[in-house]
A and B are shown apart, each in its own frame.
Chain A
Amino acid sequence: MNITRKTTKSGTSLSVEGELTIYSVNQAKQDLLQDYNNFSDQVALDLHKVSELDTAGIQLLLFLHKFLHELDKKLHLVKSNEHVDETLAALDIAGHFTLEN
């Protein structure tokens, strides 16, 4: 599991690669939140390289969203894949992360 962070003109982007599951969420939490104070206001979340997503992974993403929201930042899901879409849809969560929220 790999988290890549890039800061560009349009903002911070977080890209997750590999498994985002109970086995990797501890590490993922650390990696995702590293240096969060320097995140831009709009944070783009790219999940298209996520190979497996379970409830623990979703919970982490929900936490991230909530956490950033409290810092007046917005987390957007900008890129996804079929498995991620399916899993998010099972909990009807996709709406959580879109620009409308």
Chain B
Amino acid sequence: MNPLQKQKKVAGKAPSKQFLTFRIGQEHYGLELSQTREIIEFGGITEVPLMPSFLRGVINLRGEVVPVIDLAIRLGRKAIETQRRTCIIVVELTTNDQHHVLGLLADSVSEVIEMDDDSIEDAPSFGANIRAEFIQGIAKQGDEFVVLLDANNALSVRELAHLVEAELQ
């Protein structure tokens, strides 16, 4: 290591983020691309007994055991019904140096969009019937509204664990 290496700071541009958009029922949602690892076909889910309905089970992802969450139920919607385009979005979240991998069920995956901070509107008055802290913001794509999720809250492992615990009481 060269002790003389100095870090150059690059002046940043206004940040823009990329989002993976997907559909649940008639609604469009988005997750930060940086948090999504891959998208896989629906299948090979092993049920885990006694779990609440949002926890569909686990899958074997190349040697890693990953829980699969029905995002629709988590967001207060009707459970996802499996059909041809149903898929699992594998996300990777890092909070407090803890690393979590989860699979999310979605009806179908759409496209990746890029939004800069200015184009993202705040959530509150939208009335999407989703808990406010789950939403990072709302983006408009053509005629559609895309609800951009705050994965760290919507998929908070601590909260999910509590929900499981509550179910088992």
- Could you tell me which A residues sit within 8 Å of B by CB distance? 22-23
Contact = CB atoms under 8 A, between A and B. Distances in A.
Interface SS of chain B: loop
Interface residues of B, number: 2
Contacts of A23: 3-4
A22 B4 CA distance: 8
A23 B4 CA distance: 7
A93 B55 CA distance: 75
Interface string B73-116: 00000000000000000000000000000000000000000000
A45 B4 CA distance: 27
A19 B90 CA distance: 53
A23 B6 CA distance: 11
Contacts of A22: 3-4
A20 B4 CA distance: 14
B17 to A, nearest CB: 39
4 contacts: A22-B3, A22-B4, A23-B3, A23-B4
